[in-house]
Amino acid sequence: MREASRKTSDDIPLSEFMRMLGAVFVLVVILLFGEILFRWLIEPANTLLPIQLVEAWLWTNISNIIWPGSAELVAHQTGPMTQVNLLHPTFYSGVVPLYVSDECTGLHELFFLGMMMLLTPSFDMKTKMKHLGIASLIVFVLNMIRLVLLYPLAVSGCEGMNGGTFGCEAPLFQFHNFVLEYGSLIVLVIGWTIWFNITNARNGVSQFWKRLPQFQKLVCDSSFEGLNSDPSRVAAICFSLVLGVFSVISYLIIIMGDSSSVDACVNTISASCTRIVTEYEDSIGVNFRLFLISIVIFLLAWLRPKIKWLTEEE
């Protein structure tokens, strides 16, 4: 009887178990919501245009340094210089046209990894942002390596008997699809696991689970007291205001500008009209998303949400 009672006392209380289960469920829901949110944010073409331009330029120059004459940077059909043509005499027509899209920037992977790091209950926000900055550099380098490797993969498929045939660059797309479907997720999980272990984040997680029964609620502190002594908060508020004003001005310029070509394509079905209408809608969509992002950043910097624990004083 004593052994039975001792075992019973060692069990986790049902209320604490349900609280832990709820915390895990909330974390999973936030990750899924973040994934859906990111895909909605990059729905308009060239939403991440500055990053796309930089990566396309770097990709072309790095490839030409390693394999002279292997790539050229040209304007994509949407306008910006984000198309990279891989060049080799064994390719079909001598060229393989590729495009640095929003998904190719590596920001999707970084966004997901950042959410995993920020949701891990260890360290303060300043330390997490420092770690995330290092992770951003690593993800950027890995993504550039992925892009540069596409050229030798395409050449390997077009050498020998397959030279000049249509689709001989298949190894390039096989590698690209593997990274898109599985490779990125594998790298993210491995990267987060390495970060989790080398930074000793395990202790913070253990302390969080022990403290979880003391969770009360999520509170906000909207006071602007001490704002001058918090430069990161000031920077976030200023950035959100600048971004919001920029998005509104850009939106008004588009709306009040010459839209005769768009109006002429309202009842017309053609490739050119589809491109004109799509570019017009995308430009509006980008500014709308930038405005929403500015509002979210401002609210987070203003309200400063944090967890309220039972042991904390009012």
Which secondary-structure segment (H or E) carries 309?
Answer: strand 306-309
Q: Residues 58, 73: contact at Cβ < 8 Å?
A: no
Q: Is the pLDDT of residue 200 over 70?
A: yes
Q: Is the pLDDT of residue 172 over 90?
A: yes
- Please list the residues that pair with 217 across neighbouring strands: 308
For residues 231 and 243, what is the distance between their CA atoms, to the nearest angstrom? 18
Q: Which residues contact 307 (CB under 8 A, 6 or more apart)?
A: 215, 218, 219
Residues in the chain: 314
What sign has the CA pseudo-torsion 280, 283, 287, 290?
positive
pLDDT digits (tens, 9 = 90+) for 107-158: 988 998 888 888 888 888 788 889 999 999 999 999 999 999 999 999 999 9
Q: Give backbone dihedrals phi and psi of 308, rounded to 5 degrees, phi first.
A: -100, 120
Q: Is the pLDDT of residue 195 over 60?
A: yes
Q: Residues 22, 34: contact at Cβ < 8 Å?
A: no
What sign has the CA pseudo-torsion 277, 281, 286, 287?
positive
Considering only CA atoms, which of 153, 146, 156 is closest in space to residue 174?
153
Section 40-56 average pLDDT: 91
Token pair in block for residue 298: 């401002």
Domain boundaries, the chain: 2-217, 220-314
pLDDT confidence of residue 6? 46
pLDDT confidence of residue 71? 96
pLDDT digits (tens, 9 = 90+) for 213-225: 777 777 777 777 7
What contacts 24+ positions apart, CB below 8 Å, involve 208-212?
208/121, 208/122, 209/20, 211/309, 212/16, 212/19, 212/20, 212/23
Q: Residues 78, 46: contact at Cβ < 8 Å?
A: yes
In one letter, which amino acid is 142?
L
For residues 309 and 213, what is the distance between their CA atoms, to the nearest angstrom? 9
Q: Is the pLDDT of residue 54 over 90?
A: yes
Percentage with pLDDT > 90 across the chain: 36
For residues 42 and 39, what is the distance between their CA atoms, to the nearest angstrom? 5
Q: Is the pLDDT of residue 314 over 90?
A: no
Token pair in block for residue 235: 């920077």
Percentage with pLDDT > 70 across the chain: 92
Show the CA angle centred on residue 31, arms to residues 30 and 36, nearest 5°: 95
